[in-house]
Structure 1
């Protein structure tokens, strides 16, 4: 059966998504991908330069969209409006997770060996910095400051690990959203009283 070029490209991407999710970037096989897509290795290279190129075509648009919003957090001036802006930006980030479960699952669970393998640390640093900044402003109003934010960083590690599990195991968008929102609340809802705080 002959397939139109765009249809074949899509078939390769669809099969690659399954293969990357199942085996990760390093162990995924171009031969398996093309076999399942109903084409040949030679034909694969008419569409993609390499396995890395294919992985990037799948991941990069979502990754860039997410990073764009993460950068916006760092540009927020911390004042009385900051919390509302943080919530608005967090809503956008959750929407990206909701709409791109498979791609973000690849990013968090299957990117070892690719140029995206440090993305977990990017998310951990982002969560740590955003939560710390938010709490520091709240504490500053009461002439206090965070002495050590290590517990925030520990929780960020756990939150990213748990989000990776959610994306790997749950495909229902509403369920993904609810679980992520609940986790954020469980991890950070009442943590300010448990932080290492000092007077300023």
Structure 2
């Protein structure tokens, strides 16, 4: 009996994730989620007290992975790299298996996180964005992580991730596209920095 209950719970989560991706968290309907999960609205509330509890369950893993990504990557922030070293590293990047932390960026649940307009998860997203901006500023040797240039780079990076996740459902294709877009973005930054 317990296995069946767990399967209903998982089906609710799957249906909710699809609904959140399709319509956004705020516009997602609990009735539609129940219908897509082949259960009743009352049964959903047996498993989850509210819609935010479902969101919390869906975002738990990607938020943990983002946190690990930031931790792991920021550990490498021991010394500044020369532009040539950065260009060499970017040119050699051809397989994400060598860059496990970047694979965390290819979780479609991040699309839900990026689009949130309410809930406590906005704070988690903004904390990640702030760390990313600080790291970008460090890479570029800028003291002001609130610079409009850092804002533009951050928005561009998030837009690139959004593009890859929306346009490439196949994991291998998504990884190739992410590498391509990441290389293009980073190479442009490095080349631009060399010209300055």
Alignment match, 2:151: 153
SS of residue in 2 equivalent to 1:186: helix
CA 1:175–1:120: 2 relative to 1, 3 Å: farther
Distance in 1 between the 2:101 and 2:131 partners?
Answer: 12
In structure 2, how many angstroms separate the alpha carbons of the residues matched to 1:154 and 1:79? 24
Q: Structure 1 length normalisation: TM-score? A: 0.75
Helix, strand or coil at the partner of 1:78: coil
Partner in structure 2 of residue 22 of structure 1: 22
Secondary structure of the 1:96 match is helix
Which has more radius of gyration?
1
Equivalent runs, 1:30-49 vs 2, <5 Å: 30-49=30-49
Separation in structure 2 between the aligned mates of residue 150 and residue 71 of structure 1, nearest angstrom? 25
Q: Which runs of 5+ in 2 are unaligned?
A: 87-92
Deviation at 1:183, TM superposition (A): 1.7
Is residue 98 of structure 2 the alignment partner of residue 93 of structure 1? no
Paired residues of 1:73 and 1:130 also in contact (CA < 8 A): no
Once superposed, what is the RMSD of the aligned Cα atoms? Answer: 3.4
Secondary structure of the residue that 2:39 maps to in structure 1?
A: coil
Structure 1 residues not aligned, in runs of 5+: 137-145
More strand by share: 1
Q: Give the whole-Å Cα distance in 2 for the aligned partners of 1:15 and 1:34.
A: 8
3-state DSSP of counterpart to 1:174: helix
Instruction: Look up the match of 1:143.
Output: none
